[in-house]
Every structure is written in C-alpha cells, then in structure tokens.
C-alpha cells in the first residue's frame, strides 16, 4: 500500500479527523511528560548543588534551606 492509497483510504473512510485528534492527544501527553521529567531533573540537580555548597562551607544550612524552599510551590 502506497502513501497515496493510505491517505485516500483515511479520507474516504472518515478516519482522518479521529486519527488526527488521537495523534494530537498522544503528542500533548508526550510533551507534558518530557517537560515534567526535565523539571524534576533540574530541581534535583539544584538540590545537589546546594548540598555541595553546604558541605564545602560556602553556604550555611539555613541559607540552603531558604533556597530550597524558595522554589517550592507548596509553601
């Protein structure tokens, strides 16, 4: 089956619109999932960096705690 035949079948059988809608939903879910993973990774990296600053003594634990809570939406 060629691409042209497949496209004609999709349009003729009224499948194109539901297929586009389903594809859009899958794409939106994938983009939001990747965005959440990137956000979690960057938050964890920041927490590790703050912990490293505290460990080397360039930052007090209180300053580190304030920094960690600054980006927390639940506070």
pLDDT surpasses 60 at 75: no
- Would you give the distance in Å from CA 75 to the centre of its chain? 22
The answer to whether residue 18 scores a pLDDT higher than 90 is: no
CA distance 43 to 47: 6
Q: 29-39: string of b/e by CB count within 10 Å (b at 16+)?
A: eeeeeeeeeee
Q: Write the pLDDT tens digit of every residue in 27-59.
A: 999 999 999 999 999 999 999 999 999 999 999
């Amino acid at each position: 089956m060629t691409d042209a035949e497949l496209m004609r079948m999709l349009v003729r059988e009224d499948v194109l619109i539901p297929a586009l809608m389903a594809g859009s939903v899958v794409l939106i879910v994938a983009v939001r999932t990747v965005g959440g993973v990137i956000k979690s990774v960057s938050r964890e990296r920041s927490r590790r960096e703050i912990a490293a600053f505290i460990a080397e003594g360039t930052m007090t634990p209180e300053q580190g705690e304030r920094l960690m809570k600054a980006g927390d939406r639940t506070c």
